Structure 1
């Protein structure tokens, strides 16, 4: 398939964990790059970093920790320790944004330590931990991005999962080295009212991730009006990265072209 010549006001990226799944990771990365997209990865400990660094691809984001939690002392120290190691890998790959969650996730996306009720002390501890991460980001010239998740379908038991919660934390820290990874798929399942959420989060968006609902496939396969999402992002003046973090509903290259088309204004 030839590369589309349509243009986008956004930088478009594709998560290599979820497309071309019949190929080795390095081949997925190279194919995504050949098709004109930046590349996103998840847990760097599962990959050949030297091969990725030599692939020639431009990487957009990766998971910014290996283990730990935001809201308890031991978990926060573990999170900072593994975040520091992740920063070094990000620097090798030229990755500007490192993704965070309220707690560590296992291979199935489930929380290692589930939490179903937040206390005021946990909110304060999470804010303190995020400030420490912002310090680390400033020191190394990278941005940590806190991602909203849904707890109804994919990630039950993850604390600080709702986009409203993520916004409250990032806004309270209010530092350029901490921003929101605004995941539209998760927000639709967990909260809805997507256009309003985009406008509310506008000053703090570090990156946007997309997939449709239900099924978590490329835009155009479900209920989300992605033409309206693209217009809303354009209206707020967003010019950053939009990443496809979704499965292909059929042919992988066709799915990527559908994604590119809806975000080409």
Structure 2
């Protein structure tokens, strides 16, 4: 009994020490924010929609003040605003029909091929590189048929994408919480699609928030599949809020794993700020990920 009590005391002490360490790690990141200096090992971005309470002009000014210069999920009609502020469109959108109506269903292929052909040209002419796409919902289409359909349709735009130097990225989304019935909801499925498309210009947008929900094992998955991952999104689990000590993922370790793969693309913050000072939340998130 005495031995057990001693062990319990040691366990509690160890847990408290670990909690103190983690809080200190996040606190030190917050303190470092005051310097305004970024390490430059990660190319930082933020998703437009999560800060839509700001005008695009205001968001551009905000990211420049924090110390980075890229915004995700901005379409052609707003690129002039980005260029005015010398802010990069790190993930272009606008060619998709919707998240639910995608490449896995042949009825959408004609429209998608038309849209992506037009947008690939627009992206290239604007000097950008990444263009998002989606698998679409299953709607009773089995995963193998959906993959065959995706590959068949996407292959029809890849010659142009390769010629123009544009990367088409399919986003991995969770189907447990946020996007019920979405087909590209596991990394293995997306990686197999990349192999079937067979182009270095087709990759996956690995959303860390979504994949933690549907499959977990984030660091190992990134390490083993990084050749097929062309972009990353963040978000706190659960709730998709700030990526601080209130959620279950430890982002500094994830960022170190990403850097270790040799990744040179962008990591975009896609959390929905819940705290009162939402700009401070973005600043803190950038610092957490700036390893």
* TM bucket, shorter chain: 0.7 to 0.9
1:233 CA displacement: 1.1
Q: Give the C-alpha shift of residue 231 in structure 1.
A: 1.8
Q: 1: CA distance between counterparts of 2:121 and 2:264?
A: 26
* C-alpha deviation, 1:211, in angstroms: 1.0
Rounded to whole Å, the distance in 2 between the matches of 1:181 and 1:146 is 6
Question: Displacement of 1:119 after TM fit?
Answer: 5.0
Residue aligning to 1:98: 131
Matched with 1:107 is none
Q: Which runs of 5+ in 1 are unaligned?
A: 104-110
**What is the alpha-carbon distance in structure 1 between the residues aligned to residue 49 and residue 146 of structure 2?**
32
Aligned pair partner of 1:4 in 1, 11, 36: 36
Question: Following TM superposition, where does structure 1 have runs of at least 4 consecutive aligned residues deviating by more than 4 angstroms?
Answer: none
Alignment of 1:26 onto 2:50 = no
Q: If the length of structure 1 is used for normalisation, what is the TM-score?
A: 0.86
TM normalised by structure 2 equals: 0.78
Deviations 1:52-104 (A, max 9, x none): 4433212211225231521233312211111123224423543210111112x
* Distance 1:227-1:119 versus aligned 2 partners, 3 A rule: closer
SS in 2 for 1:78: helix
Q: C-alpha root-mean-square deviation of aligned residues, in Å?
A: 2.3
Higher CA-based Rg:
2
- For the Cα contact (< 8 Å) 2:96–2:132, is it kept in 1? no
Residue number in structure 1 paired with 2:215: 191
Distance 1:232 1:245 in 2: 19
Shift of 1:116: 4.6
Aligned length: 254
Q: Are positions 1:78 and 2:90 aligned together?
A: no
Contact 2:72 2:268 in 1 (8 A): no
Q: Distance in 1 between matches of 2:64 and 2:110?
A: 36
**Structure 2 gap ranges (5+):** 1-32
Aligned twin of 1:115: 139
3-state SS in 2 of match to 1:66: coil
1:260 matched to 2:286? The reply is yes
